[in-house]
Amino acid sequence: MMKRSTLLRIGLPAALAFLLLIAPLWIGGSPYIMHLAITAFYYAILAASWSLLAGYAGQFSFAHMSFMAIGAYAAALYGTYIRITTVATETCREIPFFGRWLVILDPIGISQSSQTNCLDLARQTMPAGSMIIQPSIWWGLLFGVVAGGLFGLLIGALVLRLRSTYLALFTIGFSEILRAVISAEIDITQGQSGLEMAPLFPNGITLFGHSYSASDKIPPYYVMLALFLVIMLILSWVVSSRIGLFIRAIREDQEASAALGVHVVRYKVLVFTITAMMAAAAGVIQGHYIGIITPNILIILQMSLVIAMAVIGGLENIYAAAIGAVILLFGLELLRNSFTIGPVTIDMTTWRLVAFGLVLMITLRFFRNGLISPLIDRVMRRNVARETVALRNAATAAATPTATTAGEGGSDE
């Protein structure tokens, strides 16, 4: 009995991960499906990490996409403005960096109006053979994750005292401010036109003896898959560790948890920070994959999608939220094709979202634990009710005088 559940707990995800790893062997030929898969992983990361924050910790934050955007923008700014040169430019702001120079391009110089920056000027005077290197995007990933984490820490600390509704209002507010700032500070962020981001592998890459170009979908698939798997591993560790235990206790009853020795502040801020970092990582990779980042990733629709995915999958189960995200993404894609009945053309790009909203409301009303997570629970907890009854019968048989009568049937929603 114990063995069976362990098998399910470890074997099932492992099998799934293996399937995803070898999936490109079959579908690798279709860039369209690969693209969908990458996007699905991206949403799955966001939905699963949001489910940790909202479902487990009970912090209904609407700022999750903001942390994603902060990560992506941090990486994009890094990619746009940081260069390494072998000789000093004398025109740009620069600092010595391990025998080379770390150059910060003048932000004003590359606004939309003029495409020249200080480096272009310096290039004319630099000695021949000196190199200008674009530093690796993987440092940008680190940079983005750290930035996301810092903002998560800050926001997490600010909202500590706020309860549900106020928290939701505040985080929506934060998200809107961020969007306004990014749209307005055109000198730095280039506003609505967005920042370009280098491909994940600018010079292509050779995998299993096959060389892929920068625009091939298979390398990004593996990068996003790896990120997804790593984050799911971290999430499942968090959930099963003391952190998961404590944040759920805090969600249930903050005062009672504190009275039992739980450091409420620490765990609330911690979970905000962790999930912000995860969202930021997803944002960085997705930004590099898509190739551009604009303030539109902060529109409410994006956050709505993530919330709806997590809710429909099952808010209180990270796996359910992730699976929900994948299924819904593919579902939405399948519903994309518009069709015509007689004189009316049904524009499915809109109507599928109407259906989505309806499903969201109905799920909330009638399936509080989502559609996927009850299925998981049924497998994982199927013997609990039976066990309860059996144990109680055993206890009654042993004629314990204080055998209890309540808790019949062990309702197992």
What DSSP state is assigned to residue 11?
I
8 binds another protein (CB under 8 A): no
Among positions 8, 90, 233, 252, the unique one binding another protein when judged by CB under 8 A: 252
Interface with another protein includes 340 (CB under 8 A)?
no
| Min separation Cβ 58 and another protein, Å | 7
Please select the residue that binds another protein; options are 11, 29, 173, 202, rule is CB under 8 A: 173
Q: What are phi and psi of 156, to 5 degrees?
A: -55, -40
Kindly identify the residues of this chain, within the stretch 132-171, that bind another protein according to CB under 8 A. 158, 161-166, 168-170
Residue 216 DSSP symbol? -
Q: Would you say 71 and 284 are in contact if contact means Cβ atoms under 8 Å apart?
A: yes
Beta carbon of residue 326, minimum distance to another protein (angstroms, whole number): 20
**57-76: contacts with another protein (CB under 8 A):** 58, 60
Chosen residue from 358, 378, 379, 382 binding another protein by CB under 8 A: 358
Least distance (Å) between residue 311 CB and another protein: 6
Nearest Cα to Cα of residue 195 among 284, 303, 89: 284
100 interacts with another protein by CB under 8 A: no
Q: CA-CA distance, 241 to 270, in Å (whole number)?
A: 13
* Nearest one of 243, 280, 306 to 149, comparing CA atoms: 280
Answer yes or no whether residue 18 interacts with another protein by CB under 8 A: no
Query: With respect to another protein, which residue has the nearer C-beta, 19 or 259?
Result: 259
Part in contact with another protein (CB under 8 A); list of ranges 99-107, 282-290, 322-330, 351-359: 351-359
Tell me the window of 37-45, 75-83, 183-191, 286-294 that interacts with another protein (CB under 8 A).
183-191
- Listed residue (370, 374, 411, 364) closest to 389, CA to CA: 411
- 3-class SS at 205? strand
Q: Which of 155, 200, 165 is nearest to 64 (CA)?
A: 155
How many CB atoms sit inside 10 A of residue 345's CB?
A: 10
Sites for another protein among residues 191-250 (CB under 8 A): 191, 242, 245-246, 248-249
Question: Contacting another protein (CB under 8 A), which of 316, 322, 324, 329?
Answer: 316
CA distance 407 to 413: 14
By CB under 8 A, how many residues form the interface with another protein?
81
Q: Which amino acid is at 236?
A: S
Which residues 6+ apart lie within 8 Å of 191 measured at CB? 182, 183, 184, 185, 295
Q: Is 375 in the site for another protein (CB under 8 A)?
A: no
| In the complex, minimum distance from the CB of residue 362 to another protein, in angstroms, rounded to a whole number | 9
